[in-house]
Structure 1
Amino acid sequence: MFSPKFTITNKILADIGRIEAAREIIENAPLVPAYEAKFRQEAIIRTVHHGTHIEGNPLDTGEVKAVLEGKEISAKDRDIQEILNYRNVLKYIDKGQRIKESKSQRISQKDLLAIHKLTVERILGYKQAGKYRKTQVVVKNFKTHQVSFVPPKANVVVSLTGDFFDFDGFV
């Protein structure tokens, strides 16, 4: 059974209180629809850029914006596909979240594998997309190529993921 190790301190509780207060202000603030659409689009561009950049995608924010707007840019097909896939994942999560909120369901391993499939569409082969890995992988620094993390072995990924999804604190 997955059991995260952490301590809830007074500082953490105070920070959670501040976050909740800020959330209430934001959720109840009037927002002009045109501004909301602009803010939403800018947030998507930044999210896609940073989410793919951390994985080594070299496209800058302007290039990401152009790709998301359907414009052609000079870049590797894989880098462009990663941008498109990340956007599709965000759409899937947004749609799924609205459905789950109405039904009070938790995210599942099926959801995770669907997200994986969207993430690697046209990047990995169809036999790997949306499936748990069967080989050992490592995480490398994309500049130095040094191994920075060795994930669990492939033969334990399914059980570890199952434990995580069974954890009572998991949403």
Structure 2
Amino acid sequence: MTWQLRRAEAGDLEAIMRLETSIFANDAWSGGTMRNELANVNAWYLVAFRPETPESIEAYAGLLAPRGAKEADIQTIAVAEGSRRGGLGRTLILSLVNEARKRGAEEVFLEVRADNAGAQALYRSLGFEDLAVRENYYQPDGVDAIVMRLAVPPRRSTFTAPEDGA
């Protein structure tokens, strides 16, 4: 499946909120909270869509990373059920980590529901490590959050100098 990513805009709020409320039924953010996130100069949100249907947002993800801060936080990530298991979540997380690196972050943190084994496996496969547990974090369900941390890897260059010095 081919996906296209772009920075989220205020005009994406309605589509983002449709996903937010359908995926996070009991603990969805309010429209006002999401609007504030999209407008925050220290935040960076992405939306994902199929190139042939750019009006249909299938996923979004957000990062809080003030420029020059050593720490960044992945605020949220959501992928529509019909678009899961194809690498889109991984692509979004890697894009957020790359943006955190550009902004100077050395560590990226996130919280994940203790009952979301699939997301935990994805984050661990990307190098995130369990750091702590926040009991009863997700309300009203009373589900614990696992706090995870990633030491931001240095940027890898794909350029290699010729061996003969030419």
The bucket for the TM-score relative to the shorter chain is under 0.3
TM norm structure 2: 0.27
Bigger proportion of residues as strand: 2
TM (norm. structure 1) is 0.26
Structure scoring higher RCO (CA < 8 A, sep ≥ 6) equals 1
Task: Choose 1 or 2 for highest CA Rg.
Answer: 1
